[in-house]
Amino acid sequence: MAGTIKIKLIGSPICTPMKHKVIVRALGLKKMNRIVERPDTPGFRGMVKKVPHLLAIVD
């Protein structure tokens, strides 16, 4: 895995467990439908897999 991935916030972290909110904020996402670009590492992929109902990987 090399390069970067684009992560989009597709669901609101309101009324989700605190762990989910912490993951979303750690990725740098603050508002809905925002996209951030992060390194394509197993750590970031794992963060996305923890909250698949809130995040999506876009092309």
Q: What is the pLDDT of residues 5-54, one digit of tens each?
A: 999 999 999 999 999 999 999 999 999 999 999 999 999 999 999 999 99
The verdict on domain 4-58 having CATH code 3.40.50.1970 is no
Secondary structure (H, E, C), 3-56: CEEEEEECCCCCCCCHHHHHHHHHCCCCCCCCEEEEECCHHHHHHHHHCCCCEE
pTM for the model: 0.89
pLDDT score of 1 more than 90: no
